[in-house]
Amino acid sequence: MKIARGKVDGFLRNPGDDLKIALIHGPDRGLGRERAETLAGSVCPDLGDPFRVARLSEEELKADPRRLADEVSALAMTGGRRVVIAEADGEPAGRLVAEMAETPDWDALLIVVAGNLTPRSALRKALEPSAAAAVVACYADDDATLARLIDQVFGTWKVTAGREVREYIAERLGGDRLASRGELEKLALFAGEGGELGIGDAAAALGDSAALSIDDLVHAAASGDFAALEKQLRRARDDGLAPVSIIRAAQRHFQRLQLARAQVDDGKSPAHAMKSLRPPVMFMFEDRFRQQLNRWSPARIAGAMDMAVEAELECKSTGLPAEAVCERAMLRIARAARRGS
């Protein structure tokens, strides 16, 4: 049977004694391995117990196909139900498990971890109709599951973080569950048990301070704020930020501004337009982005994008110092913003 997405967490905690095989598959291998460990832990709390837990790689299955049957049939010397966790991406390993699934007469729980499987794969065709098997798909975390993961990790460490900080963190987590959990645990360690995370702490711990600095610089230019722009340009020089990275960030910014401005022109509110962008506008830049929506017309946005593209071409083809080309382009954009106010 296939486990519905909303029922996965409950299933992992309490799979039932009748379950013989669990297939955990999907493109998010980190999430698949995490779920396999959670499921195994519901049967054997000590996953380091060599008498109750066996792990088989796909290479081991290929080298000795009989070992899988031996492991699921073995009895634990210390008592209790055994767990066998096997990796089975390729068709040979998949066919081996599928053949065994025809007569699941063992007591152990066999957990099979695989990558993205099509409905035609031997494993899915054999296990999805089976009453003794369960199939769990693992896809990249969406906003809701990322929020729950943040709550879970921070709750364990008793770390507090405001809504804006959590949104900032969620925007920077990737599609692999284990990698996301690792980043969150790094943040929790940075804050310390019972600590509080601010936006600067999150940026420093995630190694994203350079990206924040570039965002500040581009927003200063797009807002026509010469004092802030000069400060950020000096900081960019001191930090050794690549001029082309700044120019490309400006191109992306005005593309996003163009998309949001089109929605506003269609009657949507600025708040709706900003939240519809992917990723949404960060809370710390919302006020400036909203002002820019009023400041920049579609034609002027197109002109700013042309300035940024022209600057990138000059960096690559004219031999002029890239730093000087970048600074001139940002100042031109800031002057254009002032004219549009």
pLDDT of residue 123: 86
pLDDT of residue 161: 93
Bridge-partner residues for 133, per DSSP? 21
Listed residue (63, 119, 132, 129) closest to 96, CA to CA: 63
Please give the structure tokens belonging to residue 131: 């009453």
Please give the structure tokens belonging to residue 214: 């570039």
> Any idea which residue has 């970048």 for tokens?
326
pLDDT of residue 240: 82
Listed residue (12, 55, 23) closest to 122, CA to CA: 23
pLDDT of residue 142: 72
CB 83 within 8 A of CB 109: yes
Residue 149: what residue type? L
Beta strands in 165-222 (DSSP E): 196-197
Encode the chain (341 residues) as per-residue pLDDT tens digits: 889 888 999 999 999 888 999 999 988 888 899 999 999 999 999 999 999 999 999 889 888 989 999 999 998 888 889 999 998 877 777 788 888 888 888 999 999 999 888 888 888 888 999 888 999 998 877 778 888 899 999 999 999 998 888 887 887 776 678 878 888 999 999 999 999 998 878 877 876 566 678 889 999 999 999 999 999 999 888 878 889 889 999 999 999 999 999 999 999 999 999 988 877 787 778 899 999 999 999 999 999 999 999 999 998 888 889 999 999 999 999 999 998 65
Q: Give φ, ψ of 135 to 5 degrees.
A: -125, 125
> Any idea which residue has 């960030």 for tokens?
249
**How far does Cα 229 stand from its chain's mean position?**
31
Q: At what angle do helices 177-191 and 163-172 cross, to 10 degrees?
A: 140
Distance, CA of 12 to CA of 298 (rounded, Å): 51
Strand, coil or helix: what is 102?
coil
Strands 53-56 and 21-25: unpaired
First to last CA, the chain: 61
User: Using CA atoms in the order 60, 61, 64, 68, what is the torsion angle rounded to 10 degrees?
Assistant: 120
Residue 296: what residue type? W
What element of type H or E holds 111? strand 109-114
pLDDT of residue 179: 79
Peptide bond preceding 279 in cis form (omega within 30 of 0): yes
Flag whether the pTM goes above 0.95. Answer: no
Distance, CA of 44 to CA of 37 (rounded, Å): 10
pLDDT of residue 209: 61
Other Cβ atoms closer than 10 A to 316 = 11
Listed residue (153, 164, 218, 219) closest to 187, CA to CA: 153
pLDDT of residue 36: 95
Please give the structure tokens belonging to residue 229: 């722009």
Q: At what angle do helices 66-73 and 91-101 cross, to 10 degrees?
A: 40
